[in-house]
Amino acid sequence: MLEYHSVAALAEAAEKQGCAISELVISDQAAFMGRSREELYASMKDKLDVMRKSAAAGNDETRTSSSGLSGGDGFKMDRYARSGGVSGASGASGAPAPISGGFCAAAMARALAIGECNAGMGRIVAAPTAGSCGILPAALLTMEEFYGVREEALVMALFTAGAVGLVIAREASISGAEGGCQAECGSAAALAAAALVELRGGAPTQAAHAVAIAIKNQLGLVCDPVAGLVEVPCVKRNAGSVMCAIAAADMALAGVTSVIPVDEVISAMREVGEALPSSLRETAQGGLAATPTGILLKQKIFG
């Protein structure tokens, strides 16, 4: 049985068996839980279906949260991503093409939309948390759209992401209140990076390097929700974090490796989280929440 205390160990075990991390994980979980692979697959597919629905629900020009802090940005980003074409100076509409390209712009649009779905009390999949719910599904669903990735591959990639998330939860944290936003958006970027590498046919060890790179790029990220709500800056951090995941995956697929081993990076994230003051760990007492505008917004919302 797998221990889920080391991403490197997961990657090494998969390499030895000549399979993807997801294949290793689903077989292990089936044996551990006494359930069939078909049952586990169906359960994970249900989560993918919820991700699709939350992305569609959030992509609504008129949808706003009860606080009024978020809503409509996913729609704006989606319109921008599609009206300007995929590349070049402008698309058929004459609108400028996204600087980052069609794929990245579409991924950001989905990340925003799902974050706004969560802020509007819609149904989402915590991946691994509600505050970081848009990052992993945005990466997967955009791979499906742009590269025609089959649904089966998307579902299996979720098993890889889940295994990485379990290691991070055990060895560091996935809680903003415990470790800052690095533990939420940083962890989600790591999950998405590993999933993307697998979807592009990368080796398990490359997925491990992608996890390390993604976390390193968000190490020390604070959790400072304005008015204590999971909206500002959380929703837009989802968009930034999916870009981090894409960059980490591409670097790993190019053969770029993390000088610091992945499990040491995860340990460092735990230590950094423990060093953060309480004001920067979801208490809304520091960072953006403590700016003059942040304080005014809190007073406006709560009186």
pLDDT of 152: 98
Q: Report whether 202 contacts 252 (CB < 8 A).
A: yes
Question: Which residues are registered as beta bridge partners of 90?
Answer: 96
* Mean pLDDT, the chain cut into blocks of 10 residues (303 residues total): 96 98 98 97 98 98 96 97 63 75 97 98 98 98 98 98 98 98 98 99 98 98 98 98 98 98 98 98 98 98 94
d(CA 105, CA 107): 5
In this prediction, residue 94 carries a pLDDT of 65
- At 110, list the tokens: 């989905």
User: Residue 39 and residue 67: Cα distance in Å, rounded?
Assistant: 40
- The C-alpha angle with vertex 57 and arms to 66 and 139, in degrees rounded to 5, equals 115
Residue whose tokens read 């697959």: 41
| Residue 13 CB neighbours (<10 A) | 18
**Exposure of 200 by Cβ count < 10 A (0-12 exposed, 13-18 middle, 19+ buried)?**
middle
Which residue ranges form the domains of the chain, and what is each CATH number? 7-302 (1.10.4100)
Distance, in Å, from the CA atom of 9 to the CA atom of 106, rounded to the nearest integer, reads: 34
- DSSP structural state of residue 66: T
Q: Most distant CA pair in the chain: distance in Å?
A: 60
- Which token pair is 282? 């979801």
What pLDDT, on the 0 to 100 scale, is given for residue 84?
67
Burial of 92 (0-12, 13-18, 19+ CB in 10 A): exposed
